[in-house]
Chains A and B, each alone.
Chain A
Amino acid sequence: MNRLDIQKTYKLYIGGKFPRTESGRYYAVNNSKGKLIANMCLGSRKDFRNAVVVARKVQESWADISALNKGQILYRIAEMLEGRKEQFIEELVLQGATKKAAENEVEVSIDRLVYYAGWSDKYQQFFSTVNPVSSSHFNFTNLEATGIVSIIAPENQSLIGLVSVIASTIVGGNTVIVLASENLPLSAISFAEVLNSSDVPGGVVNILTGKREELISHMASHMDVNAIIYCGNDENEMKSINELASNNVKRTIFYKKNDWLNSSNESPYFIEKTQEAKTTWHPVKV
C-alpha cells in the first residue's frame, strides 16, 4: 500500500514560534496550472502588531550581541539553508521556477547570507569616522541600528529577495517584520524554519504571509516601527507608505527594480540604509 504523504502546514513566524494567524483566515496558493499548492495564513494587522511587540522586546539585546557573534549566526543560517537546499529548490520549482533557476536562486541565497555574515564585524569600520574637530574633543561617528523595520519583500525572487533584505537589515542589529511574497510565499515560511533551527533569537525575524493590500498600510503607519523597506514599484503603494510613514518620521527605503540575483545588489550600503549615525563628543585635556 502506498504511503500517504504528510503535507506541510505553512504558518506564520512570530517571536520564534509558528502560530496560525489570529484571524483564522487563509488564502490558497496555486501553481501555474491552477492546482492547489498550499493554504497560506492570511496574516492580519493584529498578527503584525503582535510581531512588532516581540520585535521591540528583543531589538536591543539582538543589537548588543557582538558583531563577531552576529556574523556567526548569519553564517549558521547559511549552513542550515545549505543543508535544506533540496527542499527549497523543490518549493521554487513547485511555484513555477525551472530547476536550474531554482538551484541558482538557492545557491545565491546561501552565498548572500555568507556575504553579509562577513560584513557583520566590518561595516562599522567602513562607515564610522573619527572627526577632527577644531576644539579639544575626541569626536567619532558610528552606526547604530535604526530599530524595528517593516519589510515588504519582493513579489518575485521570493527567496533571494527575501534573504537579501533580511540579512542586510538584521546584520546591523535591527529586528524585522517581513511580509512575504504574496503569490510565492512558500520559501519565506520554509526560510523561517531555517532561521528557527539556526541561532537567531526568536523575534529578530518575524515573517507574515498575507495580502499586501491589507497589510502595507499597517506596516507603514505603526508608530513603533522605525523604518520600512518596500520592494516593488507600485507608485500608489509607495506614495501611501511615504504619507503614512510621516506620522512618526519613519525612514522609508524603496527597492524598485533590484535584481537580487545580481551581485551588484549586495554591498554594505544596503546595511547602511537601516542605520543611524551617532556622533559622540568627549573632552580631551588634563
Chain B
Amino acid sequence: MNIDFSKIPTYDTLGVIERVNRFGKRSIKNSSKVEGLKLALSMIDLTTLEGKDTKGKVEQLCYKAMHPHDALQNIPTVAAICVYPSMVSIAKKALQGSKINVASVATAFPSGQSDLKIKLADTKFAADQGADEIDMVISRGKFLSGNYQYVFDEIAAVKEACGKAHLKVILETGELETLDNVRRASEIAIQAGADFIKTSTGKIQPAATLPVTYVMLDTIKDHYLKTGIMIGMKPAGGISTSKIALQYLVMLNEVLGEKWMNKEYFRFGASSLANDILMQLVKSETGFYQSANYFSKD
C-alpha cells in the first residue's frame, strides 16, 4: 500500500453539509427533470438482499428490471440486478438476452466478519456463477483499529478473485462515522483496485447520504486528477424517492460532470426507487399525480 495518510485531505462536516444542501436547492423542472429521471432509472441496481429471497422473488425482480413500466415508451431498463451469490445463476438466466448486469454481494456480506479465505471463496463462487459485478464489504473493524494494510490487502485479493467481474467496494460509511474516515477508506479501496466505491450495505443506518457521497466523489475527482483513471460511484440504501435521486445527480453533474453521468460510472443501489421514478415520469407525461397501485411492485 503506497498511501501517505498525512497527505489525505480532511473535511469539515458542516461545510460539506452546507455544500450538499446547495445541490438540494437546485430546482429541476420540465424536460431537464424527465432527462434526469430517465438517467436515474438507467443507473439503478435493483436490489433484493434478504434471507427470505427465493428463486421466484428474484425472477420477478428480473422481469421488473427488463420491463419497468410497459405503458411508458422510451424508458431505459435498470443497470443491474443486485442479489446474494446463491441467486446469481437464477438472475443470470432470467435476464438472458437483456443488457442488464447481475451484481452479487460477496465477502461475508453484510458484516464481512469472516476469514479472507472464505471471502475469496465467496467471491469466486459468485463470479463463477456468472456475476458481472461483485459488491464486496471492507473489514470495518480492521479499518477502525487502524489496520489499513489489512483492509487494503483484502480488497486487492478480492479484486484478483473477481476475475473479469467489476469490483464495487462497500465502505459501510454508517459504521465509519466521520467524513475523514470515509475519505481514507475511499483512498484505500481505490488504490487497492476498486472499480466502484459504494457507500453502504443497506443493512446499517445511516446508509447513503449526500455528504458521504460527496466526499467519495471528491476522492474520485482527486484520483482522476492524479492518474486520469475514472472510478465509479454507488450510493446505496435510503434513496427511495425521485427527488433525492435527482439531488444525487445534480451533485454528480456539478462535481464530476458529464463523463460520470452514465451507468458505467454511477449507480443507485435501491429497491423502491425505480417505481417512484416511474410514477414521476408518468406524471410528467399525463400531468396527473400517480398512485402506487398502478405500478407493479416487482
Say whether A and B bind each other.
yes
Q: What residues make up the interface of A, taking CB atoms closer than 8 Å to B?
A: 136-137, 283-286
Could you tell me if A285 and B17 are in contact, using CB atoms closer than 8 angstroms? yes
Chain B residue numbers with a CB within 8 Å of A286 are 13, 177-178
Chain B residue numbers with a CB within 8 Å of A284 are 14
A sample of 9 cross-chain residue pairs with beta-carbon separation below 8 angstroms, ordered by A number, consists of A137-B14, A283-B14, A284-B14, A285-B12, A285-B13, A285-B14, A286-B13, A286-B177, A286-B178
- Answer whether residue B15 sits at the interface, using C-beta atoms and an 8 A cutoff: yes
Could you tell me if B178 and A283 are in contact, using CB atoms closer than 8 angstroms? no
CA distance A286 to B13 in the complex (A): 6
Within the complex, the shortest CB–CB distance from A260 to chain B, in Å, comes to: 50
Which of A136, A284, A285 has the most CB atoms of chain B within a 10 A radius of its CB? A285
Task: Report the count of interface residues on B (CB-CB < 8 A).
Answer: 7
The binding surface of chain A is classed by DSSP as loop
Chain B residue numbers with a CB within 8 Å of A285 are 12-14, 17
Q: What residues make up the interface of B, taking CB atoms closer than 8 Å to A?
A: 12-15, 17, 177-178
CA distance A283 to B18 in the complex (A): 11
The binding surface of chain B is classed by DSSP as helix
Chain B residue numbers with a CB within 8 Å of A137 are 14
Within the complex, the shortest CB–CB distance from B98 to chain A, in Å, comes to: 44
CA distance A286 to B17 in the complex (A): 11
Chain A residue numbers with a CB within 8 Å of B15 are 283
CA distance A283 to B14 in the complex (A): 6
CA distance A117 to B12 in the complex (A): 42
CA distance A112 to B245 in the complex (A): 69
CA distance A286 to B179 in the complex (A): 8
CA distance A286 to B178 in the complex (A): 7
Chain B residue numbers with a CB within 8 Å of A283 are 12-15
Extra contacts besides A283-B13, A285-B13 (12): CB < 8 Å: A136-B14, A137-B14, A283-B12, A283-B14, A283-B15, A284-B14, A285-B12, A285-B14, A285-B17, A286-B13, A286-B177, A286-B178
CA distance A283 to B15 in the complex (A): 8
CA distance A7 to B14 in the complex (A): 70
Chain A residue numbers with a CB within 8 Å of B13 are 283, 285-286
Within the complex, the shortest CB–CB distance from B170 to chain A, in Å, comes to: 22
Chain A residue numbers with a CB within 8 Å of B178 are 286
CA distance A283 to B10 in the complex (A): 15
Chain B residue numbers with a CB within 8 Å of A136 are 14
Closest B residue by C-beta to A137: B14
Within the complex, the shortest CB–CB distance from A179 to chain B, in Å, comes to: 50
Closest A residue by C-beta to B17: A285
Within the complex, the shortest CB–CB distance from B12 to chain A, in Å, comes to: 6
Closest B residue by C-beta to A136: B14
CA distance A284 to B18 in the complex (A): 13
CA distance A285 to B178 in the complex (A): 10
CA distance A284 to B13 in the complex (A): 8
CA distance A285 to B12 in the complex (A): 8
What are the 6 tightest A-B residue pairs by CB atom distance, in nearest-first order?
A: A283-B14, A285-B14, A285-B13, A136-B14, A286-B13, A283-B12
CA distance A136 to B18 in the complex (A): 11
Chain A residue numbers with a CB within 8 Å of B12 are 283, 285
Which of B13, B14, B15, B178 has the most CB atoms of chain A within a 10 A radius of its CB? B14
Closest A residue by C-beta to B177: A286
CA distance A151 to B15 in the complex (A): 46
CA distance A286 to B180 in the complex (A): 10
Chain A residue numbers with a CB within 8 Å of B177 are 286
CA distance A75 to B109 in the complex (A): 71
CA distance A137 to B17 in the complex (A): 13
Within the complex, the shortest CB–CB distance from B169 to chain A, in Å, comes to: 24
Closest A residue by C-beta to B180: A286
Chain A residue numbers with a CB within 8 Å of B14 are 136-137, 283-285
Closest B residue by C-beta to A284: B14
Chain A residue numbers with a CB within 8 Å of B17 are 285
CA distance A263 to B210 in the complex (A): 62
Within the complex, the shortest CB–CB distance from A137 to chain B, in Å, comes to: 8
CA distance A283 to B178 in the complex (A): 15
CA distance A248 to B14 in the complex (A): 38
CA distance A137 to B13 in the complex (A): 12
CA distance A259 to B15 in the complex (A): 54
CA distance A137 to B18 in the complex (A): 12
CA distance A1 to B15 in the complex (A): 86
Within the complex, the shortest CB–CB distance from A285 to chain B, in Å, comes to: 4
Within the complex, the shortest CB–CB distance from A256 to chain B, in Å, comes to: 49
CA distance A136 to B13 in the complex (A): 11
Within the complex, the shortest CB–CB distance from A201 to chain B, in Å, comes to: 40
Closest B residue by C-beta to A283: B14
CA distance A284 to B12 in the complex (A): 9
Closest A residue by C-beta to B12: A283
